[in-house]
Amino acid sequence: MANLKLSHIYKVYENGHKAVNDFSIDIADREFIVFVGPSGCGKSTTLRMIAGLETITAGDLLIGDTLVNDMEPKDRDIAMVFQSYALYPHMTVYENMAFGLRNRKMPEKEIKERVMKAAKILDIEDYLDRKPKAMSGGQRQRVALGRALVRDPKVFLLDEPLSNLDAKLRAAMRTEITALHKSLNTTFIYVTHDQVEAMTMGTRIVVMKLGYVQQIDTPMNLYNEPYNKFVAGFIGTPQMNFFDTTLKREGDKVIVIFQNGDKVAVPYEDVSKIHNRYLGGDVKVTFGIRPEHISVSKEGKGLKFIVTNVERLGSDSIIYGKLGDHLGEFTMKDEGNMIVVKMNDSSNIEVGDVLYAEPNPSKVHFFDAETEITLMSKIPPFNTIEAAVSGDSMTALGKKVALPAAFKAAIGGADRFELVVPPRAIVPGNDFELKVARIEKVDNDRLAYLRNGDSYVFALVGESVREGDTYQFAFENEKLNVTVGGEEVLKAIDDEVSLLGTFSKKELKEGHDRVLHFFYDIGEYSLETSPEQGYKINSIDGDNCYKYTYRYAVNRNAVRIVGDDEPGLNGRVVAFCDYGNIRFAKVEADGQEFLITVDPKFAADKVRVAFNSEDVSVYSTRIDMKIC
Ligand code: ADP
């Protein structure tokens, strides 16, 4: 039994191919985690890194509380089951199962107990004397499972274990492996390219594409709230329908306008998380609806389509159609005009029928046509709020408040501008107030819908805030973007200070020994770091590490102003940025510029800064990769 933690794991193969990028997940004890994605997305590589069969380029892998990056596979207390079974053909089932234990010099008596117990669980007690070739695929896969089982591992890793089996056996083995997981109470990590296996077996699923994690969630959350178009299309059969559309808000409705001019209306309340900028009718939006969430009628509202094929599967049917009412000849260009509907009763539907498809408004999905990211994130990424300038004040959300000097400088002489406000930048305060129309629990957060005219401002609020309350709040000004007529004039200040530097080692005499010390060097500032960090950088980049440039990132709050007697980086203060509630000094040092937080009275033109090496994250500048 064990929990696992993968923290910023990367795999770069020797030929330079980056197979896994920044993979992080906390896996609780006894979870059944499935890695799913198309061939080549990095699933097996990740699994093999967990098993210890592949080195980890960067990142930390913990099993329980132990860092195991450099631990031998046999010491990791992990058992792996492969697609190919990998049974020894000349050995009996019993010997195959006992082999690993004998290698560990386990007493024969205990080996026998363990093999018999596993054989019983897997229902292969009657085959123990057979050789693998005298067994069916399903039985062989059970032996492969048995060989893992007898080791009583903390973690089971399974790499496409069912892909050599026929469809019927696969379905049966799915159930058996799920039952095995339940009875063993052990952590399982299972790799498959088959979304049905993922959906039916996983307690949580990691969807991957081209080496990047797309979404980690429960099967139902992936199905109901896919983060992007890729996940939406990958999970669910038949696949979700996608259409190029534009959206137009009309009162309490949002009209979805298809390329052929057809329209479908959905209540604004169901899609109010979509940002206003998509609702003006001029931005391309990908509309998604699952085949099972469409109802069909012979006359009436919705998308007109002509039936091109009907697949009757017994309990339900799949109707294929083409938008419009002409069959014509099918060309590949028609793809975006195709519609697939899943329904129970198709007895009165024939090829050539002209029908109307009506999406269930509470099951619709919308994606940005370019980024393919959902427009209905559980927590909307930002609100856009109009502001008008009068002298040193601004009016926003019906309140007149001080205009921060940094905003005033950025907008030039403009008398109107927009504040781009992430929900997390809205905090209790006295500047603004809006009524709380609704509160939604999103994971560990509470998302408030604050009524603002005919739409909402989204904010994260504490436990004490209730629906119907008037919420009083302010903005953390430094976390906002500012735009004038949609053009960005000021970027939010991120939480980190980033500095480029090099890495060095010195051998110093300590008593009778010479001991290696490692340093992050930024200009004249040499910051000693722990031997662990030093060895990590060294193991990733080899001796070249002393030639490369690294990016050192530190949380801004961890940067201290220090006196001349402490090691530090000397800089010139070139400007101040005043956000009202918080003030920054722009510092130039070692030819680089960065912002530090200063108190309101700070006025010096020189400053010396320092930070602790434990607070520094190190990034490679050659490949986009966090090293430690
Ligand atoms: P999956 O299991 O999702 O099918 P893999 O993890 O096997 O994908 O592979 C991920 C990517 O890494 C693929 O593009 C594959 O070609 C590449 N790859 C796998 N092994 C190696 C290797 N030893 N050297 C270089 N590239 C590799």
pLDDT tens digit string along 529-547?
A: 999 999 999 989 999 999 9
Q: Indicate if ligand 1 lies below 6 Å from the C-beta of 44.
A: yes
Question: 290-340, pLDDT tens digit by residue?
Answer: 999 999 998 878 899 999 999 998 889 999 999 887 666 555 555 668 999
Q: Kindly state the average pLDDT of the residues 255-262.
A: 91
Q: Rounded to whole angstroms, how far apart are CA atoms 316 and 347? A: 10
The bridge status of strand 606-610 relative to strand 569-578 is antiparallel
CATH number of the 4-232 domain: 3.40.50.300
Q: Rounded to whole angstroms, how far apart are CA atoms 456 and 126? A: 66
Q: Indicate if ligand 1 lies below 6 Å from the C-beta of 73.
A: no
Q: Indicate if ligand 1 lies below 6 Å from the C-beta of 490.
A: no
Our mutation pick for probing the ligand 1 site, out of 9, 12, 13, 82, counting the most ligand atoms within 8 A of Cβ, is 13
Q: Kindly state the average pLDDT of the residues 436-465.
A: 97
44 C-alpha to ligand 1 centroid (Å): 7
Residue-level pLDDT at 235: 96
Mean of all residue pLDDT scores within the chain? 93
Where b means 16+ CB within 10 Å and e means fewer, 399-437 reads eebebbebbbebbeebeebbbbbbbebbbeeebbebebe
> pLDDT grade, residue 1 (50/70/90)?
low
Our mutation pick for probing the ligand 1 site, out of 45, 80, 190, counting the most ligand atoms within 8 A of Cβ, is 45
Q: Indicate if ligand 1 lies below 6 Å from the C-beta of 20.
A: no
The bridge status of strand 416-421 relative to strand 399-402 is unpaired
72 C-alpha to ligand 1 centroid (Å): 21
Identify the residue whose C-alpha is closest to ligand 1 atom 23: 13
Residue-level pLDDT at 201: 95
> pLDDT grade, residue 240 (50/70/90)?
very high
> pLDDT grade, residue 279 (50/70/90)?
very high
Residue-level pLDDT at 172: 84
Q: Indicate if ligand 1 lies below 6 Å from the C-beta of 13.
A: yes
How many CB atoms lie under 10 A from the CB of residue 356? 18
Which of 63-72, 167-176, 278-287 is the least confident region? 167-176
39 C-alpha to ligand 1 centroid (Å): 9
Q: Kindly state the average pLDDT of the residues 456-478.
A: 97
Question: What DSSP character marks residue 492?
Answer: P
Q: Kindly state the average pLDDT of the residues 254-283.
A: 94
Which tokens hold the place of 602? Answer: 């700070």
Residue-level pLDDT at 333: 53
Q: Rounded to whole angstroms, how far apart are CA atoms 144 and 165? A: 13
Nearest atom, ligand 1, residue 45 CA: 6
171 C-alpha to ligand 1 centroid (Å): 27
Which residue spans within 241-337 are E strands per DSSP? 241-250, 253-258, 263-267, 285-289, 294-297, 303-312, 317-323
Q: Rounded to whole angstroms, how far apart are CA atoms 97 and 81? A: 12
Nearest atom, ligand 1, residue 39 CA: 4
19 C-alpha to ligand 1 centroid (Å): 6
Q: Indicate if ligand 1 lies below 6 Å from the C-beta of 16.
A: no
Identify the residue whose C-alpha is closest to ligand 1 atom 12: 19
Residue-level pLDDT at 592: 97
Nearest atom, ligand 1, residue 208 CA: 3
Question: 189-219, pLDDT tens digit by residue?
Answer: 999 999 999 999 999 999 999 999 999 999 9
Return the CATH fold of 238-368.
Answer: OB fold (Dihydrolipoamide Acetyltransferase, E2P) (2.40.50)
Q: Kindly state the average pLDDT of the residues 228-242.
A: 96
Q: Indicate if ligand 1 lies below 6 Å from the C-beta of 40.
A: yes
Identify the residue whose C-alpha is closest to ligand 1 atom 16: 40
User: Helices marked H in 150-215 — which ranges?
Assistant: 167-184, 195-201
Q: Indicate if ligand 1 lies below 6 Å from the C-beta of 45.
A: yes
Q: Nearest 5 degrees, angle CA 106-CA 110-CA 113? A: 140
Identify the residue whose C-alpha is closest to ligand 1 atom 8: 40
42 C-alpha to ligand 1 centroid (Å): 6
Q: Kindly state the average pLDDT of the residues 269-274.
A: 96
Residue-level pLDDT at 328: 61
Nearest atom, ligand 1, residue 54 CA: 23
Peptide linkage before 219 cis (omega within 30 of 0): no
pTM above 0.85, yes or no: yes
Is there a contact between 230 and 368 (Cβ–Cβ < 8 Å)?
no
11 C-alpha to ligand 1 centroid (Å): 10
Q: Where are the domains of the chain?
A: 4-232, 238-368, 383-490, 496-626
Cα-atom radius of gyration of the chain, to the nearest Å?
30
Better pLDDT: 600 or 28: 28
Q: Indicate if ligand 1 lies below 6 Å from the C-beta of 383.
A: no
40 C-alpha to ligand 1 centroid (Å): 5
407 C-alpha to ligand 1 centroid (Å): 48
Residue-level pLDDT at 405: 96
160 C-alpha to ligand 1 centroid (Å): 15
Question: 499-518, pLDDT tens digit by residue?
Answer: 999 999 999 888 899 999 99
Q: Indicate if ligand 1 lies below 6 Å from the C-beta of 39.
A: yes
Question: 47-60, pLDDT tens digit by residue?
Answer: 999 999 999 999 99
Is there a contact between 17 and 57 (Cβ–Cβ < 8 Å)?
no
Identify the residue whose C-alpha is closest to ligand 1 atom 1: 40
